Amino acid sequence: MKFKEVYFATTNLHKFKEAEKIFSKYGLNLKHLNFKTAEIQSENLEKIAKNSLNQVLSQHKIPVFVEDAGLFIKVLNGFPGPYSSYVFKTIGLKGILNLLGKTRNREAFFLSVIAFGSPSGEQKIFTGKVLGKITFKIRGLGGFGFDPIFQPKNHKKTFGQMDVEEKNRFSHRAKAVKKLVKWLLFKEKL
Ligand code: ITT
């Protein structure tokens, strides 16, 4: 890899562990930077991620990435989307299930946007998306956030019923992190 070490700036250890597992599969070591960014309000995850990245880079001259993720529910016109963290803290899983009630169309997706930057000034964006549906009940104790009510397409379990390894096979975050890792490894050969 071109960079000796790469940092993931996040306050969410679950997110870090998911990414770390993928890095180590490719033989790379991922470092954790516990950094709380002041998340700007925007409907665009990429804008939020880029802004957060620049906050980190203004204080740390290291190769680093941030990730912004959200759950987008079709019948709610994409809500909670960029407000997922706040909605999780306020109305939580039960609040989302109540909002949907008995609605049959429960289609949703998770989107992950990674913004990577290095002190030399280069910046790159990587995204990952997973389609699925919101379950009728909370299922599973694993994972974090909305995992216990999100069932990825063509699978019987919710993310909450999977361990990190299994979730990493198809999650939004895993897809984005794999793109980043491949880019980091490919760059070395340039
Ligand atoms: P940092 O900003 O410090 O990285 P965070 O938890 O606030 O940590 P996000 O803003 O990206 O990170 O999170 C948005 C919220 O969306 C998160 O708190 C969860 O409630 C939810 N979320 C994101 N990814 C998720 C996943 O893989 N599984 C379940 N819920 C997820």
Ligand 1 site, residue 160, Cβ cutoff 6 A: no
Ligand 1 site, residue 84, Cβ cutoff 6 A: yes
Ligand 1 site, residue 83, Cβ cutoff 6 A: no
How many whole angstroms separate alpha carbon 67 and alpha carbon 171? 14
pLDDT of 149: 98
**Ligand 1 center to 142 CA (angstroms):** 14
**Ligand 1 center to 179 CA (angstroms):** 19
Closest atom of ligand 1 relative to the 36 alpha carbon:
3
* Residue nearest atom 31 of ligand 1, based on CA coordinates: 145
Contact at 8 Å (CB) between 152 and 132? yes
More confident residue, 170 or 4: 170
**What are the two backbone dihedrals, phi and then psi, of residue 47, each rounded to the nearest 5 degrees?**
-65, -45
pLDDT of 188: 54
Mean of pLDDT values over 13-35 = 97
Mean of pLDDT values over 150-166 = 97
Query: Best of 146, 163, 168 to mutate for ligand 1, by most ligand atoms within 8 A of CB?
Result: 146
Residue 139's nearest CA partner among 83, 74, 93 is 93
3-state secondary structure of 5: coil
Query: Does 161 have pLDDT greater than 80?
Result: yes
Contact at 8 Å (CB) between 29 and 23? yes
**Ligand 1 center to 26 CA (angstroms):** 24
What residues are annotated to the active site?
Answer: 68
pLDDT digits (tens, 9 = 90+) for 75-112: 999 999 999 999 999 999 999 999 999 999 999 999 99
163-170 long-range contacts (CB < 8 A, ≥24 apart) are 164/17, 164/18, 164/21, 165/21, 167/18, 167/142, 167/143, 168/18, 168/21, 168/22, 170/130
pLDDT of 121: 87
Bridge partners (DSSP) of residue 70 are 111
| CA angle (13 as vertex; 154, 37 as ends), nearest 5 | 110
E strands present in 10-122: 30-33, 64-73, 80-81, 107-117
pLDDT digits (tens, 9 = 90+) for 105-116: 999 999 999 999
pTM of the model as a whole: 0.96
Query: Does 41 have pLDDT greater than 90?
Result: no
Angle formed by the axes of helices 13-25 and 172-188, nearest 10°: 40
Q: Could you check whether the bond before residue 80 is cis, i.e. omega within 30 degrees of 0?
A: yes
Ligand 1 site, residue 109, Cβ cutoff 6 A: no
